[in-house]
Chains A and B, each alone.
Chain A
Amino acid sequence: MKFQSEPNTSAGEFFELLENSGYRWPAKLEGTAKQHGFTVPQGTTVLAFHFKGGVLVAGDRRATAGNSIMYELCDKVIPIDDHTLMAIAGVPATAFEMARVLSHNFEYYRRSQLQSMSTEGKIRALSKLLKENVGMAVQGLGVVSPIFATYDPALKKARIHFYDMLGADFQIRTHTATGSGSQIIRGILEHEDLWGEKPLAERTREQAMTLAIRLLQTAALFDSATGQARPEDDIYPTLATLTEEGYRFSDEDETAEIFKTSTARG
C-alpha cells in the first residue's frame, strides 16, 4: 500500500501497474532465430461486419497445432468491456493474455479515472500490446491477428478495426475476416455486400447471424483448421453482436435454431 507521502502517479494505466508489480510481457527469446521443430496451438477463422443495428462478430471454435486438432470449444470472440469485443486468430495463449490485459486496462481506467476510456484510447491500447508482442511474433511463437469491435458513444456507431502484426490499426467500414479460413470468406462477404439480397449494413441481426453461420461453414469446407459446427455435440460457432446497448452473445438455443434454418438446403 502506498503511504500519503508517496505521490499518486497513476493515470489509469493498468499495464504500467502490472509492470510495476513485476509482470513482464513475454519477450523475444534472445539469441534464437525463428523456432522450428514444435508447433503452438493456433486459433482459426473469425469475421466481423456491420449490420443494421451494429456490428456482428463471429468465430469458429477450433484450435489447431500443425495438423492436429487441439480443441473444438475455443471461444475466439472475447468480451473486453460492456461495449467492446475482440475476435482472435493466431496463438490463443498470447491472444487470451492480450484480452485479459485489455479488459483489466479498460475497467481499471474507467474505475480509477471515473470515466470510460475514449474509443481512440481503446483502439490504441491494443496497438501497444501488439507492438510489445512483435518479438514473439517474428519468432513464430505468438502471432496474433485480432479484430477489435467497439461501440463509439461519441459517434453513436459501432466500429471495427483490424490490426497488422506490428500494431497498425485499420478501420473497416464494411467487413473483415482473419485467420486461415479468412481468404475463403472475404470474397463471399464482398460479393454479398455488393450484389447480395441487400448490403450487409442493411441486414437485420437474424440475417447477419445467418450469413455468419453460412460463411464459417463454408470456410470449414475448404480449410481444415476451421472447425465445422457439430450440432450432435452442441458445438456451434460463436456469434455476438455489438450495439448501443453493449455486446450480446447469442445463446446456445438461439444459435442452434439459426444454425438449423440457415444450413437447411432449399
Chain B
Amino acid sequence: MFEEPYRWMEAVSTRHNYVQEKLKMGQPVMAVPYNEGLLIFGFAPQPGKIFEVYDRIALGGVGHPADVERLRMNLLDMAHLEGFNRSAQDVTSARLLQFGIAPALKQNFEEIQRAPYIIRMLLVELDNEGNPNFFRMNYDGHWGTFKNGTAIAGEEKVMDWLQKEIQKQPFATYSLDKALQQACKLWDESRKLDSDDEAKKDIPETLQEAFDQWYLEGAVLTEKSTRKAIYRPISKDEIERLKSSAV
C-alpha cells in the first residue's frame, strides 16, 4: 500500500495527528536564563520531566514516559561516549541533536511501520563560555534553537503562547527566586489556554492545588557551582520560597 507516494504522505499526516492528539495532555516545561545561569522548570502529576544529561546539559520532556526515557538514555549514551572518547568540551547540545537524535527521530517518524515517538523535548546547556543555549525538538526530529529561553507543551497553542511571553521578560537579569516566580506565573496563566475540556478536568484549578497535588520539578545549570557537573535540582527551600510568594 505504501509504494504510492500519496499513501505514504497520508500515512505520515495521520501519524502527525495521532502524535499531536497523544501529546495534548503534556504539561509545559519552561527553560529561561537567570542572572547566574539557566533554570528549567515544570509541574506534572508524576515526576520525570527534567533530567541531567551531562556536565553542562539538561533535558526536559513532554510525552509518553517510556519515550522520554528511551531518548534520555540515548542522549546519555551519546554524551558519555563522546565525553570519554574526546572531551567534556566536545559534548554540546547542538551536536547531540544535529548529528545524533534529530536524524534518527526523523527517520523513525517517517518509517511508518515503526511506532512514532510521542515526545517533545527541551535541551538546555550552559556552554563553555557560560552562555545559556536553548533547544526544542519535536517528535518528528525537527528542532530549533532559541536565545532567551523557550518552552514545550502538549498543546502547540500553549507552547507558542509561552514562547512569546518568555521573550517579553528580561529573565536574564532576574535572580533565581524571581525567575522561578515569573516562570511559575506564566505556567499558571498558560493553563487557562488549554482548549481540551476533557484534559482540563485533571489539571489543578489553582496554583495552591498544583503545589499540593502535583510535583514541581526544577533544576539550574549555574556557573556558581564549583563542580565539573553544574546541574543542580532546585532545593526544598527554594520551592518553599516560591510557594509562599506565588500562592
B52 touches A8 (CB 8 A): no
CB distance from A119 to the nearest CB of B (A): 19
Q: Kindly state the separation between the CA atoms of A3 and B113 in the bound complex, as whole angstroms.
A: 12
Q: Is A17 an interface residue (CB 8 A)?
A: yes
B114 touches A3 (CB 8 A): yes
- Given contacts A17-B77, A18-B84, A104-B84, are A1 and B53 in contact (CB under 8 A)? no
Q: Is B67 an interface residue (CB 8 A)?
A: yes
Q: Is B115 an interface residue (CB 8 A)?
A: yes
Residues of B within 8 A of A5 (CB): 114-115
CB distance from B27 to the nearest CB of A (A): 20
- Given contacts A21-B81, A101-B84, A104-B80, are A4 and B69 in contact (CB under 8 A)? no
CB distance from A100 to the nearest CB of B (A): 6
A111 touches B52 (CB 8 A): yes
A100 touches B69 (CB 8 A): no
A-contact bits for B201-220, CB 8 A (1 contact / 0 none): 00000000000000000000
A82 touches B227 (CB 8 A): yes
Q: Kindly state the separation between the CA atoms of A104 and B55 in the bound complex, as whole angstroms.
A: 11
Q: Is A236 an interface residue (CB 8 A)?
A: no
Q: Is B76 an interface residue (CB 8 A)?
A: yes
B53 touches A111 (CB 8 A): yes
B-contact bits for A241-254, CB 8 A (1 contact / 0 none): 00000100000000
A-contacting residues, B78-109, CB 8 Å? 78, 80-81, 83-84, 100-101, 104-105, 108
Size of the chain A interface, CB-CB below 8 angstroms = 22
Q: Is A2 an interface residue (CB 8 A)?
A: yes
Q: Is A169 an interface residue (CB 8 A)?
A: no
Q: Is A14 an interface residue (CB 8 A)?
A: yes
Residues of B within 8 A of A104 (CB): 80, 83-84
Residues of B within 8 A of A111 (CB): 51-54, 76
Q: Kindly state the separation between the CA atoms of A104 and B80 in the bound complex, as whole angstroms.
A: 7
A112 touches B70 (CB 8 A): no
Q: Is A107 an interface residue (CB 8 A)?
A: yes
Q: Is A108 an interface residue (CB 8 A)?
A: yes
A5 (CB) vs chain B CBs: closest residue: B114
Q: Kindly state the separation between the CA atoms of A100 and B101 in the bound complex, as whole angstroms.
A: 25
Residues of A within 8 A of B70 (CB): 2, 4, 8
Q: Is B135 an interface residue (CB 8 A)?
A: no
Q: Kindly state the separation between the CA atoms of A205 and B83 in the bound complex, as whole angstroms.
A: 34
A110 (CB) vs chain B CBs: closest residue: B52
Q: Provide 7 A-B residue pairs closer than 8 Å at the C-beta atoms, listed in order of the A residue.
A: A2-B70, A4-B117, A5-B114, A18-B84, A101-B84, A104-B83, A111-B53
Given contacts A1-B104, A112-B73, 12 further A-B contacts (CB under 8 A): A1-B78, A1-B101, A2-B73, A3-B114, A5-B115, A18-B81, A79-B228, A104-B80, A108-B76, A111-B51, A111-B53, A112-B76
By Cβ-Cβ distance, the 10 closest A-B pairs, closest first, are: A1-B104, A108-B80, A104-B84, A1-B74, A111-B52, A112-B76, A4-B115, A104-B80, A21-B81, A8-B73
